[in-house]
Amino acid sequence: MGVENREQEGEQGLPLFETKKLGGTRIGYKVFAAAIFGCIWWIWVYRSVHLPRPGEKGRWAWAGMFLAEVLFGLYWVVTQSVRWNAGYRYPFKERLSQRYKNDLPAVDVFVCTADPEAEPPAMVVSTVLSAMSFNYPPEKLSVYLSDDGGSELTYYALLEASKFSKRWIPFCKKFKVEPRSPGAYFARHSDAGREVADGEEWFAMRMLYEDMKHRIEEATERGSVPMKLKEQHEGFSEWNDPTVTKWDHQSIVKVIIDGREGDAVDDDECRLPTLVYLAREKRPQCPHNFKAGSMNALIRVSSVISNAPIILNLDCDMYSNDSDSVRDALCFFMDEERGHQIGFVQYPQNFDNITRNDIYFNSPRVVNEIELREIGGYGAALYCGTGCFHRRDSLCGRRYSRGRKPEWSCEARRDEPVEQLEQGSKLVADCSYEKGSQWGKETGVLYGISVEDIATGLKIQCQGWKSVYYNPKREAFLGVAPNTLDLSLIQFERWSEGMFQIFISKYCPLTFGRGNIPFGAQLGYSIYLLWAPLSLPTLFYVAVPPICLLRGISLFPHVVSPWFVPFACVFLARNAYSLVEAMSCGAAPKAWWNSQRMVLIRRTTPFFFAFIDAVLNRLGLSQIAFNLTAKVATDDAVSRYEKEIMDFSGSSMMFVSIATLALLNLFCLVGGSMKFGMDSKLWGQMALGGLVVLLNLPVYHALFIRSDKGCFLASVVFKSVLVASVACLIANLIG
C-alpha cells in the first residue's frame, strides 16, 4: 500500500500534457533552406542586372517575371516560419482519469447543418449519434443540433436518432465500438464475426440502423413527414404555419432528451446525454450571418440549458472517430500548470472518402502534419471551424487573466421545467436579441468575414489566450471531402476569399497580432491568408512565358550560362523536398503529383476569382456570399471519383479558365518548338511549358478524348479553344 500511495502522489505532480521540440533534427533543414534562399537572391540579382533596355522586345514581360519571382520568393520565406519550430504534443488521458475520475467539466457539443438537400439528415444524425456516444459521463454531455434550414425533416431525423440512441449507446459501450457514427461503423465493418462476440446482436443493431436510415431517407425524398408521426409529437406544430420557410421562420428550440430527468435512460438504465434541436429565428429583413450567426445562437441557447464550460463544435459531416477525443482535449485545458492559459484545442480536418492517390488533393497531409502543427508550436493554432474544443469564456470574448483560475462547474438552470428552458432559449435565438449588442464583434464568433473561424481564433489569441493544435495518430474526427472538381473549386474559392478578407481587414495578423502573438505565428497565418493574391504571380508565370515562347522572346538564361544554375537549383530542390515531405507524411508519389496539378489549378482559377471578389467586397462593390458545399453527388460522379477520373462537367467560368490555360500552353509549346526548337536560349521556357502540359494531361483528355458525362461541356470547349487560339494569333501577329 505504501508503494502504491507513493506512486499516486508522484502521478499527482506530473503534467497532463507535454511538448517535445525537435530542435536538433532541424539543423540540416535550416542549412538547406539558407542555400535555397541564396539561390533565390541570385535569381533576383539576375533579373535586375539583365533587365532589357527601354524599347527592347519583352521588357515588360521581363519586369513582370521579376516581380512574380520576388513575390514567389517572399512567399517561400513566409512558409519557412512553420518549418523551423518543430514540436509534438502528447496528452496523458490516463493521468486525467486517475486524477479526476468522473469529476470532469460538462461539455456542450454543437453540430451545425443548413440544408437537408445538400446535407442529408441521415448523415447529420450519424454525426450527432457519434457525439452522444463519447466515452464521457452522459450527465455532463449535451449535444445541440443547429438547423439553419429550419426543416421539419431534420427535426424528424433527430427524433428518430434519439430513439435509436437508447440501443446504440449501450452497444458502443459493450463492444467498444469505433467509430461511433453508425453510418461510418456499419459501412466500415461488414463482418460481424470479427467485430463482436454475439453476431446476432450485431445484425440486430444493424437492422435497427438500416430501418431508421430508411425512414429518414424516405421522408427526405418525399419532402414531408408522415402525418401520423406529426400527430404523435407536438413539436411539429412549429411547422403548421404554411408561411414558414427556410429564410423566414420563428425560433424553434426543442429539448428532445432532457439529461436531467431520471427517466432519460438507455436500454441499460444508464443516463442519456441531453439532446437539443435549434432553428434560430430568420427573417428576410435581418442579416443572419451564415455559420457565425448559427454558432452565436448556439452559444446563447446552450448557456440557458446546460452552460458547459467546454464547447466542441462540429460540422454536420464531421463525425467522431475516437470516443476518447474529449478526454484528450481536457488534458490540455485541465493541466494544473498551463491549462488555464488554453483558449481552444484544434484537431485537424480529416476525411474518410479520400481516394488512394487523392485525385483532388482533399487531404493536405503536409498542412495537417507539419504546417498547422508547427504554427500551434507558437501557442497560436488556427481555429478551423470544426473539430475544435473551446473554453466558453474565451469564445464569449472574455480576456485571459493571469491570476484567474478556471471554474469547471456550470450554472445551468437545473431546476427549471423543460418548457421554461425552451421559452427562455427562444428569446436568445431571436433576430432582435443581437441588435445593439457586441455579438459578432467582441462577443462570440466574428461577423462580416466568410471564413469567420480563422478570424475568431486570431481574436481569441490576441486577447491573451494560448491555443493548441493536436494531431493524434488515430484521427479524432472524419468528414466528407468534395468528390467532384466543381465542389472542390467552390470550397477553395470560398476559403481563399474569406482568408484574404482577413488579411486586408483590421484583423490582419501582421498588424492585429503584433505584440499579441509571436512573429512566427503571424507569418504562419499569412501562408493561408495570402492564397488569393498568390494567384497573380502564378497566372503571370503560366500565361506569359508560353506567349513569349511563341514570339521567340527569351525570359530565362541560356542553359549553359552560370545564371541558369540558381533557377535549376530552386526548381529541383523545391520539388524534391516537397516530394520527400509529402512521402514522409504518408503520401504516395502519384498523390504528390496530383497535388501539384491541383495546386496549379487552384492558384490560377479559384484563388484568382477569390482575389477579385475580395477586392470588390473591400471596395463595397459586392457583398459577402456563402456557398454551401454539398455533401452529396450523383452516382456517376461518385463512380468517377472512386476510379480517380477527374470530373470536368461544370459550366462555370472556372472550367473555361482551366481549359484555356491548358490549351494556351499546349498551342504555344507546339508552335514555339516548331519555330524555335533549335534555339537553346528558349529551352528553359520550353521546359516550363512542357511541365505545365504534363500537369494538364487529364484536362486535354477531358477536352478531346473522353466522351463520358465527366468531360468538358461543348460550350466550355468552344470558349476555351476560341480564347486560346485568339491569344496565340495575336502573339504571332505582334511577333
Q: Give residue 23's pLDDT.
A: 59
Active site residue 453: yes
Beta bridge partners of 248: 245
Q: Give residue 197's pLDDT.
A: 52
CB-based contact 248:284 (threshold 8 Å): yes
Please compute the mean of the pLDDT values over residues 567-575 and round it to a whole number: 95
514/183 Cα distance (integer angstroms):
45
> Quick one: pLDDT band at residue 191, thresholds 50, 70, 90?
low
Q: Give residue 30's pLDDT.
A: 84
User: Residue 110 pLDDT > 70, yes or no?
Assistant: yes
- Quote the percentage of the chain above a pLDDT of 70: 94
CA Rg, the chain, in Å? 28
User: Residue 5 pLDDT > 70, yes or no?
Assistant: no
pLDDT tens digits, residue range 29-65? 888 999 999 999 999 999 999 999 887 888 999 999 9
> Quick one: pLDDT band at residue 24, thresholds 50, 70, 90?
low
Peptide bond between residue 287 and the one before it cis (omega within 30 degrees of 0): no
Please compute the mean of the pLDDT values over residues 449-459 and round it to a whole number: 94
Please compute the mean of the pLDDT values over residues 592-608 and round it to a whole number: 97
pLDDT tens digits, residue range 115-172? 899 899 999 999 999 999 999 999 999 999 999 999 999 999 999 999 999 999 999 9
With vertex at residue 182, the alpha carbon angle to CA 179 and CA 188, rounded to the nearest 5 degrees, is 60
> Quick one: pLDDT band at residue 245, thresholds 50, 70, 90?
confident
Between residues 189 and 227, which one has the greater pLDDT? Answer: 227
User: What is the phi-psi region of residue 625: left when phi exceeds 0, alpha when psi lies from -120 to 50, beta otherwise?
Assistant: beta
Between residues 627 and 282, which one has the greater pLDDT? Answer: 282
Of residues 108, 147, 335, 453, which has the active-site annotation? 453
User: Residue 464 pLDDT > 70, yes or no?
Assistant: yes
Backbone phi, psi, residue 14, to 5°:
-85, 145
Please compute the mean of the pLDDT values over residues 439-457 and round it to a whole number: 94
User: Residue 361 pLDDT > 80, yes or no?
Assistant: yes
563/279 Cα distance (integer angstroms):
64
**In this predicted structure, which of 189-203, 387-401, 712-726 has the lowest mean pLDDT?**
189-203
Q: Give residue 259's pLDDT.
A: 87
pLDDT tens digits, residue range 258-301? 988 777 899 999 999 999 999 999 999 998 999 999 999 999 99
User: Residue 195 pLDDT > 60, yes or no?
Assistant: no
User: Residue 586 pLDDT > 60, yes or no?
Assistant: yes
CB-based contact 422:254 (threshold 8 Å): yes
Question: Residue 336 corresponds to which cell in the numbers above?
Answer: 494544473
Dihedral angle computed from the Cα positions of residues 260, 263, 269 and 275, in that order, rounded to the nearest 10 degrees: -50
The type of residue at 12 is Q
Using the Cα atoms of residue 312, residue 318, residue 322 and residue 328 in order, give the sign of their dihedral: negative
Burial per residue of 614-646, b for 16 or more beta-carbon CB atoms within 10 angstroms, e otherwise: bbebeeeeeebeeebbbbebeeebeebbeeebb
386/72 Cα distance (integer angstroms):
31
> Quick one: pLDDT band at residue 670, thresholds 50, 70, 90?
very high
User: Residue 199 pLDDT > 90, yes or no?
Assistant: no
Helix (H) or strand (E) holding 146, with range, is strand 141-147
User: Residue 629 pLDDT > 70, yes or no?
Assistant: no
Active site residue 486: no
Helix (H) or strand (E) holding 313, with range, is strand 310-315
Q: Give residue 246's pLDDT.
A: 87
pTM of model > 0.75: yes
Please compute the mean of the pLDDT values over residues 192-215 and round it to a whole number: 82
Helix (H) or strand (E) holding 278, with range, is strand 274-279
The whole-chain average pLDDT of the chain stands at 91
Q: Which CATH superfamily is domain 102-349+384-481 in?
A: Spore Coat Polysaccharide Biosynthesis Protein SpsA; Chain A (3.90.550.10)
With vertex at residue 183, the alpha carbon angle to CA 181 and CA 186, rounded to the nearest 5 degrees, is 100
Q: Give residue 626's pLDDT.
A: 60
> Quick one: pLDDT band at residue 101, thresholds 50, 70, 90?
confident
- Quote the percentage of the chain above a pLDDT of 90: 76
SS3 label, residue 508: coil
120/285 Cα distance (integer angstroms):
28
Alpha carbon distances (Å) from 605 to 510, 534, 649, 656 = 26, 11, 16, 9
- Per-domain residue ranges for the chain? 24-84+522-734, 102-349+384-481
pLDDT tens digits, residue range 378-408? 888 999 999 999 999 999 999 998 877 777 7
Q: Give residue 192's pLDDT.
A: 54
User: Residue 3 pLDDT > 50, yes or no?
Assistant: no
- Count each helix (H run) and each strand (E run) in the chain, helices first: 28, 13
> Quick one: pLDDT band at residue 633, thresholds 50, 70, 90?
confident
pLDDT tens digits, residue range 471-510? 999 999 999 999 999 999 999 999 999 999 999 999 999 9
Between residues 195 and 454, which one has the greater pLDDT? Answer: 454
CB-based contact 136:173 (threshold 8 Å): no
Strands (E), 43-136: 87-91, 107-113
The type of residue at 405 is K
Using the Cα atoms of residue 661, residue 665, residue 668 and residue 670 in order, give the sign of their dihedral: negative
Q: Give residue 234's pLDDT.
A: 87
pLDDT tens digits, residue range 397-447? 999 988 777 777 666 556 788 899 999 999 999 999 999 899 999 999 999
CB-based contact 203:192 (threshold 8 Å): yes
Question: Residue 229 corresponds to which cell in the numbers above?
Answer: 408521426
Backbone phi, psi, residue 698, to 5°:
-60, -30
Listed as own residue / partner, the contacts of 650-655 with beta carbons closer than 8 Å and 24 or more positions apart are 650/484, 650/485, 650/486, 650/489, 650/713, 651/713, 651/715, 651/716, 652/486, 652/489, 653/609, 654/486, 654/489, 654/493, 654/605, 654/606, 654/609, 655/486, 655/712, 655/713, 655/716
Of residues 147, 148, 335, 613, which has the active-site annotation? 148
Number of Cβ within a 10 Å radius of residue 274: 29
Q: Give residue 221's pLDDT.
A: 94
Between residues 23 and 669, which one has the greater pLDDT? Answer: 669
